[in-house]
């Protein structure tokens, strides 16, 4: 059985760390960057052959914001129920800071960026009315908020993963991107608090979720709205109305966003070039794909093409460790 790697995050104050995945467990690395504004950035970018357990020992920051681009993981904060994270999710978690955290990274490709800080740092950056109630009251009780990674967040995450700088310039660049990512997360929280509550009936909600699954099951040959409505047993008008209430976008916009997000992953991971990614997600014309991609993310897809293999070591950090399994 694998022995969890123990991490004491407070011991990283004032320095960076890089942990290489042991070849017996896969490839890639986990990087920690201590930024000057009291924020710790963690970047996970690895390919795992089997589940990898991590153990974070207290004390550490009381607030964590995660952006899960690829892969699945489980987190158990102390004796609380397990939290599951899937691709495309963003999460905000609060903890007392003195409870051990156990994580299990799932097999396959894992790409995740996390920002950790204390509540005081967040208070300096945002009006309290933008925050969920427990954060406004500075409650030490654990809380968990889940959302979806937006195109703006995904663009910043891709820039973080593909950071072209080294040394102090890299540190400054990552700090600016951490603040940019935090702004996008706060905007998402603000929007969620202002958005009217969903009034879709439970039966229709299940059908809408099934419709979303059908839309993204085969990106090359996605169903039309009529086919989708027949597949979930709803009329087109009702499906369109309920879908917009649940997801905040039309079925077509949802499909396009999912296609572009999937293509972004292929490019950032270095798995495909622009033409291959366009075809894989259902665009017959790479030119039209590039036009839609740029409209969504602000940059052409070729900017996100990665030519470095996963786990390629281009950054030498002051302190390196290796995950070793029993």
Pair (297, 247) in one structural domain: yes
CATH of residue 257's domain is 1.10.10.60
Higher pLDDT, 47 or 123: 47
Please check whether residue 37 lies inside any domain of the structure: yes
> pLDDT-derived band of residue 265, with 50, 70 and 90 as boundaries?
confident
Distances (CA, A) of 175 to 27, 120, 226: 26, 17, 47
Q: 171 or 126: which carries more pLDDT confidence?
A: 171
**Is residue 48 within a helix (H) or strand (E), and if so which, with residue range?**
strand 40-48
Whether 309 maps to a domain, the answer reads no
Number of domains in the chain: 2
pLDDT tens per residue, range 228-248: 999 999 999 999 998 888 877
> Does 99 share its domain with 63?
yes
What angle in degrees, to the nearest 10, is found between the helix axes of 251-269 and 225-232?
A: 100
Residue 24: alpha-carbon gap to chain centroid: 26
- Rounded Cα distance between 153 and 130, Å, is 18
Quick one: 262 and 129 in the same domain? no
Q: What is the pLDDT of residue 133?
A: 65
Q: Which domain holds residue 264?
A: 202-304
Shared domain check, 133 and 17: yes
Distance CA 109, CA 104 (A): 13
List, as one string, the DSSP characters of 275-323: HHHHHHTT-S-HHHHHHHHHHHHSS-GGGG---SPTT------S-EEEE
Domain check: are 97 and 167 in the same one?
A: yes
Predicted local distance difference test score (pLDDT) of residue 105: 92
Q: What's the CATH code of the domain at 104?
A: 2.60.120.280
């Amino acid at each position: 059985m694998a022995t969890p790697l123990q991490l004491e995050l407070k011991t990283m104050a004032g320095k960076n760390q890089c942990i290489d995945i042991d070849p017996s467990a896969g490839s890639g690395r986990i990087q920690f960057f201590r930024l000057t504004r009291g924020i710790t950035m963690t970047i996970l970018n690895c390919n795992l052959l089997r589940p990898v357990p991590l153990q974070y020992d207290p004390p550490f920051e009381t607030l964590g914001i995660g952006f899960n681009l690829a892969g699945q993981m489980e987190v158990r904060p102390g004796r609380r129920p397990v939290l599951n994270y899937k691709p495309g999710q963003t999460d905000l978690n609060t903890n007392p800071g003195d409870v051990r955290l156990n994580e299990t990274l799932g097999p396959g490709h894992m790409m995740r960026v996390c920002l950790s800080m204390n509540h005081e740092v967040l208070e300096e950056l945002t009006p309290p009315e933008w925050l969920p109630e427990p954060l406004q009251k500075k409650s030490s009780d654990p809380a968990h908020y889940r959302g979806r990674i937006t195109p703006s967040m995904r663009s910043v995450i891709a820039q973080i993963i593909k950071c072209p700088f080294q040394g102090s310039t890299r540190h400054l660049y990552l700090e600016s991107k951490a603040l940019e990512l935090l702004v996008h997360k706060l905007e998402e929280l603000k929007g969620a608090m202002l958005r009217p509550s969903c009034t879709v009936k439970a039966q229709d909600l299940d059908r809408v979720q099934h419709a979303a699954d059908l839309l993204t099951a085969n990106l090359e040959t996605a169903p039309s709205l009529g086919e989708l409505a027949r597949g979930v047993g709803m009329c087109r008008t009702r499906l369109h109305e309920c879908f917009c209430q649940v997801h905040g976008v039309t079925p077509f916009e949802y499909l396009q966003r999912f296609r572009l997000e999937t293509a972004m992953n292929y490019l950032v991971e270095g798995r495909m070039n622009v033409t291959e990614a366009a075809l894989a997600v259902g665009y017959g014309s790479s030119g039209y794909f590039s036009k839609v991609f740029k409209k969504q993310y602000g940059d052409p897809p070729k900017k996100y093409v990665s030519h470095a293999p996963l786990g390629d070591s281009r950054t030498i950090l002051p302190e390196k460790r290796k995950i070793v399994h029993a």
